[in-house]
Amino acid sequence: MGAFKTLDHDDVAGKAGLVRVDLNVPMEGGVVTDDTRIRAVAPTITELCDKGAKVILLAHFGRPKDGPEAKYSLKQIVPAVAKVIGRPVAFATDCVGDVAKAAIAELTRGDVILLENTRFHKAEEKNDPAFVAELAALGEIFVNDAFATAHRAHASTEGLAHKLPAFAGRCMQREIEALEAALGSPKRPVLAVVGGAKVSSKIDLLENLVAKVDMLVIGGGMANTFLAAQGIAVGKSLCEHDLADTDR
């Protein structure tokens, strides 16, 4: 793996940092039931705050289809984030435009704000250059700490990395270093366990891993697609039947 820049490579004091985090957490009755993903990115948020940065959190939540939907609003995640990092967290009802700009303008060093769900804009998943530019205009540096979504070429993940000085957050750094230890020069035999819902979103990763590991174990909903490709009935379970030929 090539070298990558971390928070050790820049003086963030006074800078507005766009920090892509993974807050796609499970909820029930409007309450976060598992804050594991929040705790994973807390060290990055805290470090940036302590160093005097203005922390602007970008994240998606769920899969909204037609613009803003209350059930997918990140506003409901704010209390859980604030509790984990032990700091107040402001909220903006949009991730771009005048609403976001006005909210960010109120920040001082060490403040944290969470912007609304990036997927409320269809341009996010299309990695639309105009949308990327709107996001980039809100900050001075880009910190990607959302390892679980880093494989997606979306505006708030891949797009921003080309527009602003980009750095890996501490969670991202740990994951990359772990991958380097496991795949760069590992002690064999090497077994990789990959889970998730869809094969289609991980096919490039899987094809890359096959060439590097001795054994590859597929779990989660993805396993059904592989089972179906072998002619095994999976009933109504999540399955991408159109990928049957690929999985053979």
Residues in the chain predicted with pLDDT less than 70, given as ranges, are 1-2, 247-248
pLDDT tens digit string along 165-175? 999 999 999 99
Please give the C-alpha separations between residue 116 and each of 15, 99, 224, 228, in angstroms, as whole numbers. 21, 10, 34, 38
What is each CA distance from 79 to 43, 58, 87, 94, in whole angstroms?
A: 17, 16, 10, 18
The confidence score (pLDDT) of residue 131 equals 98
What value does the mean pLDDT of the chain take? 93
Residue 199: the pLDDT is 86
Question: What pLDDT does residue 248 have?
Answer: 59
135 within 8 A of 155, measured Cβ to Cβ: yes
Spatial distance between the Cα atoms of 244 and 233, rounded to a whole number of angstroms: 12
Nearest to 161 by CA among 177, 149, 174: 149
- Residue 211 makes CB contacts below 8 A (sequence gap 6+) with none
Q: What is the pLDDT of residue 1?
A: 46
- Judge contact between 147 and 157, C-beta under 8 A: no
Q: In the chain, what are the domains?
A: 7-172 (3.40.50.1260), 186-247 (no CATH)
The reported pLDDT for the residue numbered 182 is 81
Written as six digits, the tokens of 79 are 């209390």
pLDDT of residue 12: 96
